[in-house]
Amino acid sequence: MILLQRAKGVLDVFKVNSVEIGGDNLFFILGPCVIESEEHVIKMANIIKEIANSLNIQVIFKSSYDKANRTSLASYRGPGIREGLRILSRVKKEVGLPITTDVHSVEEVFIASEVVDMIQLPAFLCRQTDLLVSAGKTKKPVNIKKGQFVAPHSIGPMIEKVKSNGEDRVCITERGYSFGYNNLVVDMRSIQIMKSFNVPVIFDATHSVQLPGGLGNSSGGEREFVPTLARAAVAAGADGIFMECHDCPDCALCDGPNSMPVNEIESLLKILIGIKRIVG
């Protein structure tokens, strides 16, 4: 009954620059998992911009300046916040795509907000009160990645922490739920449940096929299932699709096993757009 009562509300629709979040059209968050080099990021951003122009779709570019939750101490984390934001600002200015990236501390929230168009809170930190409240203080849209340990009907307090400072532009990203050891499972009911909180819901199609810590010193992944889950999520009512992509996933410095080859992205996006038109 509570779910049905919430579902009567109006979905919060807002914009990240020119990208409409929660509107009639599907939008996408695309990019390599981590900033590997300035040259690589600009190259990837230009490829993604060409795809966006070709399909006439709305895209936000994502790449991380620091992967703070890598499995191994020896794993590559990124160039750091200052250099990473400088590179992302080039994407924004020169390529013309809105940008988002992960933040990991209150200090990072305010530094990143000077550059990015949307703040993204990592799944493992999705319940950190100070982080959520600080994100709301930036007056930037906020994307909360729902943790693998959080039930879809338990996202209310996370949303309220952001909104406590008057920032109502909040969306939630589904990225699977922990299922046994080194595995995730996606319950497509979660999309409907989370939309009952009247916030746009994004589906992370690549992290949902991740096998956390599955390779011992790093995470594995099953990228062959990305298209299947992405199609299902759009049919289930997702407002946006998040996909990390790379020109050589097997060479990627982070999350290669669950990243999509960028040369396969356009054909998949066409299918997803078609599904969205059918389901409305």
Give a yes or no: residue 8 inside a domain.
no
The pLDDT tens digits of the residues spanning 245-266 come to 999 999 999 999 999 999 999 9
The pLDDT tens digits of the residues spanning 92-109 come to 999 999 999 999 999 999
Give me the CATH number covering residue 144: 3.20.20.70
Give a yes or no: residue 63 inside a domain.
yes
Q: Compute the average pLDDT of residues 19-40.
A: 97
Give a yes or no: residue 15 inside a domain.
no
Residues 6+ apart with CB under 8 A from 60: 16, 19, 27, 28, 29, 30, 97, 98, 99, 100, 117, 118
Q: Compute the average pLDDT of residues 165-175.
A: 96
The pLDDT tens digits of the residues spanning 101-142 come to 999 999 999 999 999 999 999 999 999 999 999 999 999 999
Q: Check: CB of residue 125 under 8 Å from CB of residue 131.
A: yes
Tell me the pLDDT band of 10, cut-offs 50, 70 and 90.
confident
Give a yes or no: residue 144 inside a domain.
yes
- What's the domain range around 265? 25-279
Tally of domains in the chain? 1
Give a yes or no: residue 16 inside a domain.
no
Q: Check: CB of residue 114 under 8 Å from CB of residue 84.
A: no
Give a yes or no: residue 104 inside a domain.
yes
Q: How far apart are CA 125 and CA 55, in angstroms?
A: 34
Give a yes or no: residue 216 inside a domain.
yes
State the pTM of this model. 0.95
Give a yes or no: residue 4 inside a domain.
no
